[in-house]
């Protein structure tokens, strides 16, 4: 069980305080979705949609990279 969960509506990490998904959570997600990259992308896209509503002041490109860009 991870302690690196999103704290909404600010979308910081409950474990380390960094922007979520933090580096630790990214590593965990990569391991969890090791053989399911499309499922990982769909999960993160859903999180992005929620975050975009809460973080309307953050540029869309930044949010895209933060939630999806690192999965390549």
pLDDT tens, residue order, the chain (72 aa): 789 999 999 999 999 999 999 999 999 999 999 999 999 999 999 999 999 999 999 999 999 999 999 998
Domain boundary assignment for the chain: 6-71
The Cα–Cα gap between 51 and 62 comes to 12
| Residue whose pair of structure tokens reads 């979308």 in the numeric block | 11
The Cα–Cα gap between 12 and 16 comes to 8
pLDDT value, residue 4? 97
pLDDT value, residue 36? 97
């Amino acid at each position: 069980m991870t302690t690196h969960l999103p704290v909404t509506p600010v979308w910081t990490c409950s474990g380390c305080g960094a922007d979520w998904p933090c580096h630790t959570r990214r590593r965990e997600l990569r391991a969890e979705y090791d053989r399911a990259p499309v499922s990982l992308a769909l999960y993160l896209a859903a999180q992005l949609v929620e975050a975009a509503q809460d973080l309307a002041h953050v540029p869309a490109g930044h949010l895209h990279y933060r939630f999806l860009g690192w999965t390549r």
